[in-house]
Amino acid sequence: MPAHTPDTTSVASWVADATMAPSMHNAQPWLFHYAEAENELRLLMDATRAMPRSDPSGRGLHLGCGTALFNLRVAAAQAGWEPRVRLMPEATGPETLAMITFVQPVESDEVAELYPAIRRRHTSREPFSDEAVPPALLDGLRGAARAEGARLDLPGDWQVEWIQQLVWDAEFEEGLSQAVREELARWISGTDDDPRTGAARPEGIPLYALGPRRYDGRAPVRDFAGGRYVEGRGSAVFEDAPCLAVLGTREDERKDWLRAGQAMERVLLQATQDGLSTSLNSQVLEWPELRRALRDPVSGAEYPQMLIRLGYGPEAPDTPRRPLSEVLVII
């Protein structure tokens, strides 16, 4: 056994923090294996939670696992450990996404400061107010993405209109594809209760987190109800000129998706720390032609990975997570 290793209780609590991360449709496509004797924590993908119709390449799945990895780094740093991460290490199977070892003492790691935001961050599908996000905060968020090797672009007015158009196109495509709608429904309908046991399901998007129906306004907030009536769900006016950001990477391989996920979570935690509400939208990214159209029209160089909405709004609710016993194996 290496001279100094974290105890399993600590590692388990960091993994619990990791699982607070956002994931596509709250599928939580991650597994963790900790070998205490080797001081090695593996992050694996859980392919049973893949979405072959909406995410055939697994890009969204990798993004979700990247967000969990970032939370894990923050939690370990906050506890005084330095997590050393190797992405997609050689000589492991394709399902191993990262190998992490922990060393002490930690060099002072600024990400530790984001720890309180891990459990405060939620996806908010509520309307945001018209209050502008101060440029200094937006600069800070750009820096957060850059620190993780990604880029956060803040489109101007006409580009925001273009993005809104692309989201409507994606909604239209989604409406036409029965296969996509069925896949989506698996993560939404009945998520409040497991029909077999009557217990609350620990995954998927619960009806209480859908937010109101759009009565008016143009902010690109996905309506997961897909036109279905949901009891008690009101309607609201969303912002017309939302503050949007596009997270992008220079390349588009599996490692880049994992980096993008870490960058996304760093941006979201920083935004939460700054008192902002956030929501994500991947509809455009789920259709290759629309995703291409979202590339920077000037340079065309970046691969867009996520559309992020920022602003001031009401606090959003917690969503369920799988119990630790289902996602962590200690060897």
Ligand X SMILES: Cc1cc2nc3c(=O)[nH]c(=O)nc-3n(C[C@H](O)[C@H](O)[C@H](O)COP(=O)(O)O)c2cc1C
| Sites of contact with ligand X (CB under 6 A) | 22-26, 60, 63-64, 67, 122-123, 125, 205, 222, 279-283, 319
Choose between 144 and 205: whose C-beta lies nearer to ligand X. 205
Sign of CA dihedral 218, 221, 226, 227: negative
CB of 279 to ligand X, least distance (A): 5
Whole-number Å distance between alpha carbons of 152 and 142:
5
Q: Which residue is nearest to ligand X (CB)?
A: 22
CB of 311 to ligand X, least distance (A): 14
Amino acid at 169: D
CB of 207 to ligand X, least distance (A): 12
Choose between 6 and 205: whose C-beta lies nearer to ligand X. 205
Sign of CA dihedral 51, 55, 57, 60: negative
Choose between 120 and 142: whose C-beta lies nearer to ligand X. 120
Choose between 6 and 204: whose C-beta lies nearer to ligand X. 204
CB of 3 to ligand X, least distance (A): 37
Burial (CB count <10 Å: 0-12, 13-18, 19+), residue 108: exposed
CB of 245 to ligand X, least distance (A): 14
Choose between 39 and 283: whose C-beta lies nearer to ligand X. 283
CB of 309 to ligand X, least distance (A): 9
CB of 64 to ligand X, least distance (A): 4
Choose between 22 and 313: whose C-beta lies nearer to ligand X. 22
Burial (CB count <10 Å: 0-12, 13-18, 19+), residue 259: buried
Choose between 80 and 212: whose C-beta lies nearer to ligand X. 212
Specify whether the CB–CB gap between 309 and 128 falls below 8 A: yes
Whole-number Å distance between alpha carbons of 218 and 168:
10
